[in-house]
């Protein structure tokens, strides 16, 4: 019941804040914000509390594998969005996430190899994103826009986390990285303002995922040694340190709609 209440409160709050940040400072910064482990972090936290620190450490490793899948989502969505509307672009991104996730789950790289694989995938994805030199169309937001985003994201989180617990720690961690909040932001930006706005969200997302990686590297390395609470504090500190650097990069790439 407590977990359900958190999902019903935290998820719409996060998507609301991310939407307002994107409107105020640009789509890239909105995407950067949801690059933080806003859904996967709480998922792994509750898994660790309910099933133990070993389960949590394995879930953290699964979340790191999921970052490669998130990078594939961003690239697939961005390239299909060049010629197609958001439904096909989102489908392509979801297929890219699934295929990359299955590959990472099958390969199961050792932790020593996983970190450079993740960093390399994020750097490559940033380079592969299509460039956009135009100006995103400016469209006044409708009254229903923000509530629709919040409801959509909440339903997606509820559906995903309901199915994640019985999959095992690493697959649960991987699935928890599906870009729910970023996907909602990207789709609504694409629908309302065009492909340029969507690409800006995805670029911000990829920049934000470096701090996501730092969070789960720190969490996986410490949770079994120092406990859940201390490990999450250490992981949050690592994520914020990396996020400070990525924010500077996100602001440079920001293109106001």
- The 10s digit of each residue's pLDDT in 224-247 is 999 988 999 999 889 888 877 766
The number of beta carbons lying within 10 Å of the beta carbon of residue 77 is: 32
> Using the 8-state DSSP alphabet, how is residue 36 labeled?
S
Average pLDDT estimate for 47-62: 85
For the chain, give me the number of helices (H) and strands (E)? 11, 0
pLDDT score, position 31: 60
pLDDT score, position 200: 83
- Calculate helix-pair angle for 53-80, 40-51, nearest 10 degrees: 160
Q: How far is CA 44 from CA 14, 97, 168, 207, in A?
A: 17, 19, 12, 22
The Cα–Cα gap between 45 and 60 comes to 10
Phi-psi region of 255 (alpha: psi -120 to 50; beta: other; left: phi over 0): beta
When pLDDT is cut at 50, 70 and 90, the band that residue 33 belongs to is low
Q: Are 246 and 210 in contact (CB under 8 A)?
A: yes
| pTM over 0.85, yes/no | no
Does the pLDDT at position 18 exceed 70?
A: no
The Cα–Cα gap between 88 and 65 comes to 25
Q: Are 89 and 80 in contact (CB under 8 A)?
A: yes
pLDDT score, position 32: 62
Does the pLDDT at position 139 exceed 50?
A: no
Phi-psi region of 76 (alpha: psi -120 to 50; beta: other; left: phi over 0): alpha
Q: How far is CA 86 from CA 23, 145, 249, in A?
A: 20, 16, 26
């Amino acid at each position: 019941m407590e977990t359900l209440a958190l999902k019903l409160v935290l998820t719409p709050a996060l998507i609301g804040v991310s939407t307002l940040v994107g409107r105020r400072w640009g789509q890239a910064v909105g995407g950067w914000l949801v690059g933080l482990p806003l859904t996967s972090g709480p998922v792994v936290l509750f898994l660790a509390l309910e099933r133990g620190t070993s389960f949590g450490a394995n879930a953290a490793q699964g979340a790191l594998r999921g970052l490669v899948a998130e990078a594939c989502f961003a690239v697939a969505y961005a390239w299909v969005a060049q010629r197609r509307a958001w439904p096909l672009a989102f489908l392509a991104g979801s297929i890219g996430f699934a295929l990359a996730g299955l590959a990472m789950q099958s390969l199961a790289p050792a932790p020593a190899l996983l970190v450079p694989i993740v960093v390399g995938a994020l750097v490559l994805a940033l380079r592969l994103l299509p460039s956009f030199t135009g100006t995103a169309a400016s469209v006044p937001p409708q009254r229903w826009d923000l509530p629709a985003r919040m409801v959509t994201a909440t339903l997606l989180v509820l559906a995903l986390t309901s199915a994640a617990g019985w999959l095992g720690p690493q697959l649960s961690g991987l699935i928890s990285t599906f870009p729910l909040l970023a996907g909602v932001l990207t789709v609504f930006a694409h629908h309302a303002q065009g492909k340029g706005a969507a690409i800006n969200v995805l670029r911000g997302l990829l920049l934000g995922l470096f701090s996501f990686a730092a969070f789960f590297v720190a969490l996986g390395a410490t949770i079994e040694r120092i406990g859940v609470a201390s490990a999450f504090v250490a992981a949050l500190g690592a994520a914020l340190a990396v996020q400070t650097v990525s924010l500077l990069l996100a602001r440079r790439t920001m293109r106001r709609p």
